[in-house]
Amino acid sequence: MNILKKYIYTLILGALCITIHAQDQGSFTGGFQTSANLFLRDSLIGAFNIPQYDRELIGSQTWLDLGYTQDGFDVGLRFDIFNNSNLRNPNDSYTNEEVGRWHVAKKVDKFDIRVGYIYDQIGSGIIFRAFEERPLLIDNALVGGRIIYDLSDNWQLKAFTGRQRNRQREISSTYSGTVKGTSLEGFVDLSKEATDDQPRKVFTLAPGIAMVNRTLADETIDQILNEIAGYATDDQVLPKYNTYAFTFFNTTTLGNFNWYLETAFKTEEAFFNPFKSQQNGILGKFVKESGTVFYTSLSFAKSGLGVTLEGKRTENFDFRTNPRLGFTNGVINYIPPMNRQNTYRLNARYSPATQLLSEQAYQIDVKYRWNKKLSTTANYSYITDLDGQKLYSEIFTEVYYKFKNRSTIKGGIQFLNYNQEIYEGKPQVPIVETIVPYVDYLHKLSRKTSVRTELQYMKIGDDEKAEAKQDYGDWIFAQVEFAMAPHWSFVVSDMYNVDPGKASPKDENGEKLSLHYPRLDVYYTHKANRFSFSYIKQVEGIVCTGGICRLEPAFSGFNFSAQSNF
């Protein structure tokens, strides 16, 4: 198998090299990205006791993408290099170099054929999504083949099969289970054309139906059976080789309204539920149940007003290439998050990860532009489990105003509740309650220079059991950014634990410490190239990308990154 892989890689690389000499006949593209950390031990904030701080000192990760297209022919290759990297596991070190992705594709009449590493999704991704989230080193590519057939200009039939990449091992390995799927998607235009008396009335449908099958390998079945054998008789279940997931989805556009609806069903399978107790009292066991997801989104936009309503119900939809895996490993699908994706440092400190087994949520987002200078935003989200236990809620408001001199100011306030016990696995802690007012002011000094300042404050609730502030307590965050377009940007910020809580660092006498977490960034951009150099001291916290989250430990050190597209 390794010989075959090397042969394929050699052929693809050879094809890429040859095409460099034939630029007038096709298109050659590429991208380079690298990031390196210099780790500075700081036991006071918890930045210690991993290999990088103790002995390795420097860690890096690098990606090089190469691609070529010509006359419907598409070939691509990506090289991945990791040297003492903590990106895959923030508490460990990883070193490897390999071809991280390759594909060969060809458009033949109405057929689109692709083999290699495939990134794709069905509907919103509820039953299948092969994707990459590089900031978290999540690369759930499907390694196999896919064929798409255009039934007509508006209807498309798709089929694929393969195995999912296993990022827990070396870069090019795959999980043993197989994934197969097919979908039919289309577009129907029922709009009424404009007449002398009536404007055009838009009415379109974009329906789809799909099925995905996952087949477990013999070794996986044996491992599950061995684990279940230790259960009490009434707790034992029998795993199944094949599990099927079905979905129907549709987007309806009617005038200024847009309505998306998707409903999915997963057949009965054995999966691990960490919240179910065995008869002997041990928490966590394999159960055998079917799963469902209902998701809908309704939006309206007209005359400066935009309103979006979302709702979701998830039950037992943990769909993996191997049910023994946990966290984000081996997940075949993607269930959309149901909270606002915040960007400010303190607003985004507590962000909820999508719950695959039990979640019921809704969200409303309203935006209104009063005039060319003034606009407002309000958002409300609420998440519980299916038993009604509160997991998360947020009220977010923002006001934006543009001055005559082209300077702008925006600010608002956020009220948030966050179930830290569920999202971070911290036992017997109260729901975190925060209030975060913030303001952001941008002043244009000239056509090419500007100064932007941020000021945020987090007021957190009390932990009555610990007789202290919840978690790390109250924070204040300040940032100043000076930009000289189009090349330079300088950013200085500090996050100060103004009123420390029960989780804050303590001195040798057990007294809680009020610590600074400063950061300095220098950015340089030239055409398609971007470089940055940073000094960072960062507190432990949740990092999320599109509803996929993980707990990151504290960091202390320098970072250099570079990105280039060609």
Percentage of the chain beyond pLDDT 70 is 95
The most confident of 20-29, 143-152, 466-475, by mean pLDDT: 143-152
CB burial string 101-121: b at 16+ within 10 A, e below: bbbbbebeeeebebbbbbebe
Residue 20 has pLDDT above 60, yes or no: no
Please, are residues 434 and 418 in contact by the beta-carbon 8 Å criterion? yes
**pLDDT for residue 417:** 98
Question: What does residue 514 show for φ and ψ, rounded to 5 degrees?
Answer: -95, 105
**pLDDT for residue 1:** 47
Nearest CA among 564, 461, 566, 429 for reference residue 62? 564
Percentage of the chain beyond pLDDT 90 is 82
DSSP β-bridge partners for residue 503 = none
Confidence of residue 538 (pLDDT cuts 50, 70, 90): very high
**pLDDT for residue 315:** 98
Mind listing the pLDDT tens digit for each residue in 249-273?
A: 999 999 999 999 999 999 999 999 9
Which CB contacts under 8 angstroms, 24+ apart, belong to 405-410? Answer: 405/444, 406/444, 407/441, 407/442, 407/443, 407/444, 408/441, 408/442, 409/439, 409/440, 409/441, 409/442, 410/439, 410/440
Please, are residues 323 and 270 in contact by the beta-carbon 8 Å criterion? yes
Q: Which residues contact 524 (CB under 8 A, 6 or more apart)?
A: 487, 488, 489, 530, 531, 532
Give me the numbers of helices (H) and strands (E) for the chain, helices first please: 4, 33
Confidence of residue 15 (pLDDT cuts 50, 70, 90): low
Please, are residues 253 and 203 in contact by the beta-carbon 8 Å criterion? yes
Sequence-ordered strand ranges (E) for 403-515: 408-418, 432-444, 449-460, 462-463, 468-469, 473-484, 488-500
482: three-class secondary structure by DSSP: strand
Question: What does residue 37 show for φ and ψ, rounded to 5 degrees?
Answer: -115, 135
Mind listing the pLDDT tens digit for each residue in 202-250?
A: 999 999 999 999 999 999 999 999 999 999 999 999 999 999 999 999 9
**Could you check whether the bond before residue 274 is cis, i.e. omega within 30 degrees of 0?**
no
**pLDDT for residue 405:** 81
Q: Which residues contact 309 (CB under 8 A, 6 or more apart)?
A: 297, 298, 299, 362, 363, 364
**pLDDT for residue 545:** 76
Mean pLDDT across 119-124: 96
